[in-house]
Amino acid sequence: MLVGAIAAAMPQPIVRQFGLQCLTWGGIDAGLAVFGMRQASRKEAQHYAGELTSGQVAREIRTLHRILMINTALDVGYVAAAVWLLATAQDRPARLGTGLGVLVQGSFLLGYDALFAQEIGRNWPHEVAA
């Protein structure tokens, strides 16, 4: 996010818009990560305290897997939008910077969400399939 903030302050439209995308996506992703880690810690504590049944744990695993699959589909949309922005940028440097920023962020999220979903499916196949 620091690099995004520095780039967002630059006068060149390509660099500025790329930086704004990095800063914005980074802030949102950081917020989601903090929320997710807190939720996971809470659920882990409940699990070890015996407050969650195996059925509830399986339901949590299915829910996370489903969310990741939906996010993966959304990530494909982000990458497609970035490609459109890049294809229509012509002499618009700000659009080019925005497209590059969305492409980088969307591509990262696509890989992250898809691999995370795959790992869940591999480690908990019965819970995901239920």
Q: Are 109 and 71 in contact (CB under 8 A)?
A: yes
What's the rounded Cα separation, in Å, for the pair 111 and 7?
24
Closest CA to 86 of 95, 78, 76: 95
- Residue 126 confidence (pLDDT): 83
Q: What is the pLDDT of residue 93?
A: 96
* Residue 130 pLDDT > 80: no
pLDDT digits (tens, 9 = 90+) for 20-74: 999 999 999 999 999 999 998 998 899 889 998 888 989 999 999 999 999 999 9
Confidence at residue 73, expressed as pLDDT on a 0 to 100 scale: 98
Q: What is the pLDDT of residue 1?
A: 83
Give Cα separations from 58 to 28, 45, 118 (angstroms).
28, 16, 16
